[in-house]
Amino acid sequence: MFFLKEYKAKKIKAPDNFVNRDRILSSENKNLIYLLNKRFSWMKKYMKGKKLIIELGSGNGCIKKIINDKKIILTDIIKYPWIDKKVDMLKVNLGKKYQKKIDIFIINHSLHHCSNPGLTLKKMSIYLKKNGYILINEPETSFFLKLIQILLDDESWSLKAKVFNKKSIFNPKSPWISNTAVAQLLFKNKGKFQKYFPQYKIVENRLSEFLIFLNSGGVNSSFFHVKCSPFFLKIINMVDKILIFFLPSIFALNRTVVLKKINEIKK
């Protein structure tokens, strides 16, 4: 299993974002809130003093509660009641008024649902200010993520996908089709990424999350979990850091990436 390069889920599963949003916003699950704080709180240092912040693929839109920043513009391909603007991530159809105006884009566990992530990153640079940032959280295709996806028949991955080509890596017929290896393919080799995307500089590129995710109770689904106090959650997080430091390809379930726009690219 560790050496499997591809897996295709038998069914395409669409999360119930209404249920998940209510569960998160009213949650007394300290494990889940701890996980979400870990995913989002680091973004605050980049967002300080910034005016125009757009999240792509917002889904349940819980980021506003976790970060407590009302100025974030939530977008998604599905116009849920809490979504501010309907945007197809593949097209990044924001309009001319946003060109070179956006301070920060946020992508949280949604880029792997984009059939042409390379094209999306290029289109985002059209709207991003110089020295603006893209803040990214994405799944990391480690041994344990592969195991989870196979056992739950959850999502697909392909480490053979050619993410730097101009063609789509899967059929974009549904927003829930995915390749959870996208971030690994795009960002693991920093030199290769910079070659194809000279408009960006990778500022951060780190791995995280193992036990704090497995025992969170689930973000897009509800699972059994052992309730932990904040003290024990911190200990679990420290254990995660040690495991991922020594064996990242086995334990890491999340990749965090920060891109900074440093150049304008001529069409």
Render pLDDT for 174-212 as a digit per residue (tens, 0 to 9). 889 999 999 999 999 999 999 999 999 999 999 999 999
Contact 83, 62 (CB under 8 A): no
State residue 266's pLDDT score: 67
Rounded to whole angstroms, the Cα distance separating 55 from 42 reads 15
Using the predicted structure, report yes or no on whether residue 244 has a pLDDT greater than 70: yes
Contact residues for 50 (Cβ-Cβ < 8 A; gap 6+): 103, 104
Rounded to whole angstroms, the Cα distance separating 83 from 76 reads 7
Using the predicted structure, report yes or no on whether residue 84 has a pLDDT greater than 90: yes
Domains and CATH numbers, the chain: 6-261 (3.40.50.150)
Using the predicted structure, report yes or no on whether residue 267 has a pLDDT greater than 70: no
What is the per-residue pLDDT across 104-120, written as a single tens digit (0 to 9) for each? 999 999 999 999 999 99
State residue 2's pLDDT score: 65
What is the per-residue pLDDT across 56-82, written as a single tens digit (0 to 9) for each? 999 999 999 899 888 999 999 999 999
Cα distances from 67 to residues 3, 120, 222, in angstroms, run: 38, 25, 22
State residue 121's pLDDT score: 97
Using the predicted structure, report yes or no on whether residue 4 has a pLDDT greater than 90: no
Q: For the whole model, what pTM was predicted?
A: 0.96
What is the per-residue pLDDT across 225-238, written as a single tens digit (0 to 9) for each? 999 999 999 999 99
